Structure 1
Amino acid sequence: MTSDSFEIHPQAVSDTVGNVRSLLSRAGDVISELSSAVLDGAAFAGVGSDVAAANANLQSSQVSSLHQLRQLLERVNQAIHASNQGYQQTDQAVATGYGDDPVQTAQAAQTAAPGTQAADMTTDQQLRDQLGIDEGNRTHVYTDTAGHPTVGIGFNLDRGDARARLAAVGADYAAVRAGTQDLTQDQVNQLFSHDVGTAVTTARNYYAGFDQLDPVRQRVLTNMAFNMGPATLGQFHQLHTALTNGDWNAAATSMQNSHWATQVGDRATRLIDHMRTGR
């Protein structure tokens, strides 16, 4: 039996990941719209403050429930993606095993380094999925938690190159910032691809051993670089020392004890766990 006859294509699973990702994007928009809705106090003038308070509580409960649903969808999406990736790796390993010379296979395994995926990290789908969940995906401008006007997938409109980057994708910076023009999804994707590439470069410049890390920890550093930029990432001296020593527990602990971890919450919790376990 040759490898040519061993073909399994888990496309249906990949499609499911895309469908859940679309639900996550829409859920984020709905939560944002509902949480920012301003209730008209005059509408409750005739029925009293108790009804107004009850309605406000109901709105708060709905927002909380939607957040919980979105978190559940995130975990489902991550589990499906991880399962599909593991399946494809197993599929490839089995397919490669059929008909191959065992000596050549062993030599190839010895040649492969832990960081062989580093060159592809700019297009790594799991990294892009994680960042899409962490940053959100919006075509209309909004204000982020730090007070910056933001659009797309975490694209800060206060950054120095924002005007040039929007012009490069055919968008009017002033109109986008004012909220009179939305980006197309294609423009969002172009901005995102550029920023992912920048984040990979930032992570590699921060830690010279980046290419020797396993893909999971490469994603952690790239995610942090995307989130905070080179100046802030460069202040993580204890993390750098721990990475140099290959001490994953110390690396995770240094992340956990940072101000960044308290700022980004669940995002930090997940990345800390990935750094500690490599899974």
Structure 2
Amino acid sequence: MAQMNIENLTSELIVDEALKLKPYHCTAGKLTIGIGRNLEDVGISTDEARYLLKNDIDRVCAQLDAALPWWRTMSERRQRVLANMCFNMGIGNSTRGLLSFRNTLASMQRGDYRAAARGMRDSSWAKQVGARAERLAKMMEEG
């Protein structure tokens, strides 16, 4: 029995299915991504989800490095708070996302973590995410 050449099959499937980096509906109407991955029927594995998460965390940290270079001077726990918030709402700009928290971020930068936690709790974001915001505000406050 001949062994199938996986590299050749991979090349053929890329030609036949195409590489799509954003979700689309295939000819059967199924939500699909990548090289023919049927998300509705197959989904993704735990390993694939963790791989995506690692890449997303790397992207978030790079965004924070670029936008808020001082964030790495905070304690590791407070860095996790900022990364968690950025992951949740995106880095954004002055009107949306993490960067819209101008006063809260300024409090963090000057080391006034109580004021930063208060700003987090008083935001519309906190109303949307509830317990997550309270947990993160407490982490920010206590370091």
Judge conservation of contact 2:71–2:109 (CA < 8 Å) in 1: no
Counterpart residue number, 2:47: 186
Number of aligned residue pairs: give it.
Answer: 111
Q: Deviations over 1:237-276 (max 9, x none)?
A: 0112102211101111111111110111111110000001
1:236 offset after TM fit, Å? 0.7
Partner residue of 2:58 out of 187, 191, 197: 197
Comparing both chains, which one has the higher relative contact order based on Cα–Cα distances under 8 Å and sequence gaps of 6 or more?
A: 1
Q: TM-score, normalised by structure 2?
A: 0.71
Partner residue of 1:256 out of 99, 117, 121: 121
Q: Hey, which of these two has a bigger chunk of helix by percent?
A: 1
1-side partners of 2:42 and 2:141: how far apart?
43
Q: Which amino acid aligns with 2:117?
A: A
Q: Hey, which of these two has a bigger chunk of strand by percent?
A: 2
Q: Deviations over 1:150-169 (max 9, x none)?
A: xxxxxxxxxxx6449x52xx
Counterpart residue number, 1:272: 137
2-side partners of 1:171 and 1:211: how far apart?
40
1:219 offset after TM fit, Å? 0.3
1-side partners of 2:60 and 2:122: how far apart?
23
SS in 2 for 1:252: helix
Q: Unaligned stretches of 5+ in structure 1?
A: 1-160
SS in 2 for 1:180: coil
Q: Deviations over 1:210-243 (max 9, x none)?
A: 1211101000000001111111111110112102
1-side partners of 2:71 and 2:114: how far apart?
17
1:171 offset after TM fit, Å? 6.1
Q: Deviations over 1:187-226 (max 9, x none)?
A: 1111111111112122333322112111010000000011
C-alpha distance 193-171 of structure 1, shift in aligned 2 (>3 A): farther
Find out whether 1:226 has 2:87 as its counterpart: yes
SS in 2 for 1:203: helix
1-side partners of 2:102 and 2:121: how far apart?
14
Q: TM-score, normalised by structure 1?
A: 0.37
Q: Which amino acid aligns with 1:202?
A: Q
Partner residue of 2:105 out of 229, 240, 243: 240
Q: Deviations over 1:57-100 (max 9, x none)?
A: xxxxxxxxxxxxxxxxxxxxxxxxxxxxxxxxxxxxxxxxxxxx
2-side partners of 1:241 and 1:171: how far apart?
45
Give every structure 1 segment of 4 or more consecutive aligned residues whose post-TM-superposition deviation is greater than 6 Å.
Answer: none
2-side partners of 1:235 and 1:198: how far apart?
19
SS in 2 for 1:230: coil
1-side partners of 2:130 and 2:78: how far apart?
19
1-side partners of 2:60 and 2:102: how far apart?
18
Counterpart residue number, 1:67: none
C-alpha distance 218-171 of structure 1, shift in aligned 2 (>3 A): farther
CA RMSD in angstroms, aligned pairs only: 1.9
Q: Which amino acid aligns with 1:255?
A: M
SS in 2 for 1:225: helix
2-side partners of 1:276 and 1:223: how far apart?
15
2-side partners of 1:263 and 1:211: how far apart?
27
Judge conservation of contact 1:171–1:183 (CA < 8 Å) in 2: no
